[in-house]
Chains A and B, each alone.
Chain A
Amino acid sequence: MIAPFDIVILLLVLICAIAAISVKDLLSAVIILGAYSFLMCLLWSEMGAVDVAFTEASVSAGIGTVLLIAAVSKTKRRSKD
């Protein structure tokens, strides 16, 4: 628990979340979601949950991003909103 570090990462996470749902290109949204997952991993290792942090880094930021990129490449890349 280091409060300034915590506030900075939480603000970055919020910016990433807003960017991920407002970008029109779906591939960019997926990459921003990957950055969001890694920031979340940093936040958890800062809170002391190291096991959860490396599970998040490998499973959610790794496999989740790969699955989303595969789905976007099989379907359309453009989105209306």
Chain B
Amino acid sequence: MRVLLILTVVVTGLILIYGTQDMPDWGDPNSPPSTHVSPRYLEKTLAETATPNAVTSVLADYRGYDTLGETTVIFTAGVSCILILRTRKKQKKVDQNSNPDKT
């Protein structure tokens, strides 16, 4: 079982390492993620949003709906944490109330 486990991990890693030979070099200025849309963000950020920090202008201005969705995720996580940890207490209360009735 342990041999199978290590084999699974090593084979997955080797497949991923085989996939890296088509990746762009580290620090290549002409790599696909750096040429498509991000030069436009960098060139227009001062004119359109008056924010020198490009990360802030993309986060809050160009991709504001993304941040709104992130807030929804945090809200859902908080509500689900409260719901998961709260149900047990209700059952205890029901048990305490129902035990004197039975006896």
Contact = CB atoms under 8 A, between A and B. Distances in A.
Interface string A1-39: 100000000000000000000000000000000000000
A51 B27 contact: no
B87 to A, nearest CB: 16
A13 B26 CA distance: 19
Nearest to B56: A51
5 contacts: A1-B26, A1-B27, A51-B53, A51-B55, A51-B56
Contacts of A1: 26-27
Interface residues of A, number: 2
Contacts of B27: 1
A-B pairs, 3 with minimum CB distance? A51-B55, A1-B27, A51-B56
Contacts of A51: 53, 55-56
Contacts of B26: 1
Interface in B20-59: 26-27, 53, 55-56
A49 to B, nearest CB: 8
Contacts of B56: 51
A1 B26 CA distance: 10
Nearest to B59: A51
Contacts of B53: 51
